[in-house]
Structure 1
Amino acid sequence: MNELYCLNMDFDKQVYKLGNQLDWVTSPSDGVSRVHLEREDAESGHTTSFVRFAPGASFSPHTHPLGEEIYVMDGVFSDENGDYPAGTYLRNPPGSQHKPFTKEGCTLFVKLDQFQPGDTQQVVIRPENQQWQPGIGNLEVLPLHQFKTESTALVFWPAGEVFQPHTHWGGEEIVVLSGTFIDETGHYPGGSWIRNPDQSRHHPYVEEDTLILVKVGHLLHLTD
């Protein structure tokens, strides 16, 4: 691990980035900027980022050695395999390759080189294919992917919803897509990123309609 670039790679710590305090930096590709959330090295290894493509921007062809996971937050993201509008969830397995671009611009949440051994599933879930399910209380849940201890889903919280206190076995990672997510540690507006470590505990609630992307159980294999 290159300590010159290392960022938030201690998975035993709680970390967050508030959506109203993001620092966008330019990438090696023209028209593409990023917010670094987790970073093992300069342009390789374990990486988590918000990525913004300006209209007409593209990225050079590249391979995903240990997979790529994408959620399209706004706009339309594209590659040689199709167009992916806002709300689309993608998983490109280890060894896959593509040449991404956008016509109108887009913002993505991207996780690179984090697939567990044996997780080789290609996933494309566009908004028109999403099947929401009732969750605990008044929550609505859209399962996106599950492998071993790891589970990823969209969760809609109606205004005023209070969830039960709970412990994060294997950790929890949240992107607040809209609204404001709240717990004992603070208020997290739309565009925020939160990572809570294994065995952490909180009592979350919302005051307005709130949509989050949440991943749980995935930090176990990173802290072994």
Structure 2
Amino acid sequence: MKLHTDYRQRVVIDTTAMDWTPSPLPGVERKPLDRDGAEVARATSLVRYAPGSSFSAHTHGGGEEFYVCDGVFEDEHGAYPAGTYVRNPIGSRHIPKSPQGCTILVKLWQFEDGDTAQFSVDTVTAEWRPGRVPGQREILLHQFGDEVVKLIDFAPGCTSLFHAHDGGEEVLVLSGTLSDEFGDYPAGTWYRVPPGSSHTPFSRDGCRIWFKAGHLPPRAKLPGL
């Protein structure tokens, strides 16, 4: 399966308008955002666990990172409530479950060689740092090479700096509405913009976003360029 695998293209998805599709295991459903492969694939998805559901034991051949949007995700390593960011590197293994039910944003097979850290960050208790401009604050979740992952808050009326993303940018709007010169992105919007793209993000009423940048191939290495 190939879904949004052309990284030269800008992709904007209202995930609230998507239907959930069943996974191979009962009680676990998905909304695919990008995918390159079959059941084992380079993929970005929203995954919903019904209360009491679980997934079979598996090894992450290409690594896994996820952010818990709601509920509580669990495995043999611990319980991860809403607001937790988790990285499971290449070769890690676990048995996911959710007695209470949960929804996660998950990315598979997207780790760089040498990125071997396994950890979790509870953003509910983590320390916020000042962002790039007044009215913006952030929590650094992960950084390796050119890749950076953050949680970012925009206060009402906050406008960030004009900037370009040499390694692309990917955002899930968790609450409120993020905007830029290309449009408005209310809560539940996922977008991915290609390497070399630029914009000036702002928020009229305030918002919170999960943000990832620097992880896409440089524009010069993209097919057809």
Q: What's the TM-score bracket when you normalise by the shorter of the two chains?
A: over 0.9
2:75, 2:177 → 1: CA distance? 32
2:54 aligned with 1:58, yes or no? yes
Asked if 1:21 corresponds to 2:10, the answer is no
How far apart, in 2, do the equivalents of 1:104 and 1:71 lie? 16
Question: Is the contact between residue 65 and residue 106 of structure 2 (CA under 8 Å) also seen in structure 1?
Answer: yes
Q: What are the superposed Cα offsets for residues 101-159 of structure 1, whole Å, 9 maximum, x if unpaired?
A: 00111000000010011111112111354121001222001000001000000000011
2:41 is paired with a residue whose SS is coil
Unaligned runs of 5+ in 1: none
Residue 221 (structure 1) shift: 6.3
TM-score (norm 2): 0.94
Residue of structure 2 in register with 1:43 after alignment: 39
Of residues 173, 176, 191, the one that matches 2:173 is 176
- Equivalent pairs, count: 220
> Retained in 1: the 8 A contact 2:173–2:189?
yes
Could you tell me how far apart the structure 1 residues matched to 2:19 and 2:154 are? Answer: 27
Q: Please point out which of 123, 132, 135 is paired with 2:119.
A: 123
Which position in structure 2 is the counterpart of 1:188?
185
Q: Is the 8 A contact 1:20 1:189 kept in 2?
A: no
Instruction: Give, in whole Å, the separation in 2 of the partners of 1:147 and 1:71.
Output: 17
CA contact 2:136–2:153 (8 Å) conserved in 1: yes
Aligned partner of 2:129 in structure 1 is 133
Match of 1:201 among 195, 198, 202: 198
Moved over 6 A (4+): none
State the 1:187 CA deviation: 1.4
- In structure 2, the residue corresponding to 1:40 is in which secondary structure? strand
What pairs up with 1:154-173 in 2 under 5 angstroms? Answer: 154-173=151-170
In 1, distance between residues paired with 2:116 and 2:41? 18
2:98 to 97, 102, 114: 102
When residues 82 and 221 of structure 1 are mapped into structure 2, their CA distance, relative to the original with a 3 A threshold, is farther
SS of the aligned residue for 2:71 comes to strand
Q: Give identity over the alignment, percent.
A: 46
Matched, 1:149 2:160: no
SS of structure 1 residue aligned to 2:164: strand
Q: Return 5+ residue gaps in structure 2 as ranges.
A: none
SS at match of 2:16: coil
Q: C-alpha deviations, 1:27-52, integer Å up to 9, x for none?
A: 11100110101111121121100000
Q: Over the residues paired in the alignment, what is the CA RMSD in angstroms?
A: 1.4
